[in-house]
């Protein structure tokens, strides 16, 4: 059911420094910062030949990334995002299998302008999973 790995998201304590490190040290194609107020984050996408890296930085006091960085001050992998053809069908199947969808269960529009859902990390070996409709 899941498709291609769309991106791996890394929470970072300093978005400019992390972006510069990927750009200069690794020679990566680093995009501009993009505020996502509905998700409480500022993101930067790094485009790789086979997937993307998403750098996450808190946007506002209620950002879920702020809590993550409080527990992990140096940052770290926050989630993995997989593509699905039909996000509602994927949600229904996941829930039927016992997976918990975070929030209301209704998709939100993500940073790529497509519907996304998040699945509880306790149901996936401690890893937060994002599903994005292609």
CATH number of the domain bearing residue 30: 3.10.180.10
Number of domains in the chain: 1
Which residues constitute the domain of residue 89? 5-133
For residue 26, the model assigns a pLDDT of: 96
Nearest CA to 85 out of 93, 77, 95 is that of: 93
Q: 23: Cβ–Cβ under 8 A, 6 or more apart, which residues?
A: 30
| Separation CA 58–CA 132 (nearest Å) | 21
pTM: 0.94
Catalytic residues: 130
For residue 1, the model assigns a pLDDT of: 85
Which residues make beta-bridge pairs with 83? 132
Phi, psi angles (nearest 5°) of residue 66:
-60, -45
Burial bucket for residue 19 (CB in 10 Å: 0-12, 13-18, 19+): buried
- Sites in the chain below the pLDDT cut of 70: none
H or E, element range at 91: helix 87-96
């Amino acid at each position: 059911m899941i498709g291609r790995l769309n991106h791996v998201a890394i929470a970072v304590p300093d978005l400019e420094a992390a972006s510069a490190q990927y750009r200069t040290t690794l020679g990566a194609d680093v995009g501009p910062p993009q505020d996502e107020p509905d998700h409480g984050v500022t993101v930067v996408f790094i485009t790789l030949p086979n997937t993307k890296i998403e750098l996450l930085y808190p946007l506002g006091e209620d950002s879920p990334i702020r809590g993550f960085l409080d527990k992990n001050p140096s940052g770290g992998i926050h989630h993995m995002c997989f593509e699905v053809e039909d996000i509602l069908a994927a949600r229904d199947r996941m829930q039927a299998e016992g997976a918990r969808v975070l929030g209301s269960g209704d998709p939100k529009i993500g940073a790529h302008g497509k519907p996304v859902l998040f699945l509880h990390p306790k149901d996936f070996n401690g890893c937060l999973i994002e599903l994005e409709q292609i």
